[in-house]
Amino acid sequence: MMRAMVTRAGKLVVGEIPKPMPLPATVLIRVHGAAVNRADLLQKRGLYPPPPGASEILGLECSGTVEATFGNSSRFRVGDRVMALLRGGGYAEYALAEEGCVMPVPTTISLSEAAVIPEVWLTAYQLIVRVAKLQHGENIMIHAGASGVGLAASQIAKDLLGAHHIVTSCGSDSKCDASVRVGRASASVNYRSLKGSLSDAVIGAMKGERPNVLLDCIGGSVWVENLKMLDMDGRWILFGTMGGTKPPEGINLGHLLSKRVAVITSTLRNRSVEYQADLVRSFSNEVLPKLAAGKLHITIDSIYDLRDAEEAHRHVEQNENIGKVLLAGFESLEPNRQSDETLQRL
């Protein structure tokens, strides 16, 4: 058995569940740290169920050490420092990962830093390289520029692909500053303090040019402004709906046609294991060495004990974080102090 954070009545409490056993082509990880993702918040509310066969425990990424493998064919050995992209199960003492989705942690990166890499950096890499196919010299606009994905995406756009103008939107001056200083954006627009439209502000920041690519985790509430700012033949990559799932009433699809805009949606969690493993291989070759060398920067906003995951979720829900929120303290996971009844055997 092992301890994990389980969902009860929409809240996370300490529970005891069976410890997973290694299966062919999997790696059992003793978890050192995990990161909070917005998908966790949605799953906790019953709005984002895990894929078939995945753990119902929250957590899409983790770091730790190899506890066990299946047989002797694994490329990993017990005790290796690793990080992994998960379909679920990261909020626990042990997590079972597909071997193809496990990466060695470079010696220059701590296990804490490694915990916030897989989901966010692989998502950013996938969106920019594989989905948007951003080209050298193109312009890109990124919503939520100080989020984990935003900070990773702007760095990848600049340092890996050589984008021209990289402009982001954020909800505070401090987040705009982080987007430029850490994320290396050309400019960042505080959408809360605008006197004009967001599209005009972005085009102005691009010195009259327009985005060729737009990364959108907001959705409905920015539909009109997105369409106004995009260039001809622009690629609009929708990977979240934090601002609503429906565009405003009266939307004229003719405006999409007139600009020949391609609206492309993308997710990562529900893709095949083969796809995810191939993505991990490419990322490990192209991006991970730059992270290890310090050429790309990992941003941890705050650290919470795993038992305080509810508080960490509230912090993310209130959009207070710049970068990632880390969950630690897995080694000393104990029942919630508020009630002895929170330790539940499943």
- 329 Rama sector, left if φ>0, alpha if ψ -120 to 50, beta otherwise: left
Spatial distance between the Cα atoms of 209 and 344, rounded to a whole number of angstroms: 57
Contact call for residues 156 and 296 (beta carbons, < 8 A): yes
340: exposed, middle or buried (C-beta count within 10 Å: 0-12, 13-18, 19+)? exposed
276: exposed, middle or buried (C-beta count within 10 Å: 0-12, 13-18, 19+)? buried
How many other CB atoms are found less than 10 A from the CB of residue 110?
15
CA proximity to 316, closest of 305, 306, 325: 325
Residue 127, helix vs strand vs coil: helix
Residues of the chain with pLDDT under 70: 332-346
Residues 6+ apart with CB under 8 A from 20: 28, 55, 89, 94, 95, 96
Provide the pLDDT for residue 271: 95
Contact call for residues 169 and 145 (beta carbons, < 8 A): yes
Contact call for residues 256 and 228 (beta carbons, < 8 A): no
Spatial distance between the Cα atoms of 116 and 34, rounded to a whole number of angstroms: 7
Provide the pLDDT for residue 266: 96
2: exposed, middle or buried (C-beta count within 10 Å: 0-12, 13-18, 19+)? middle
Provide the pLDDT for residue 340: 31
Provide the pLDDT for residue 202: 98
What is residue 240's DSSP assignment?
A: -
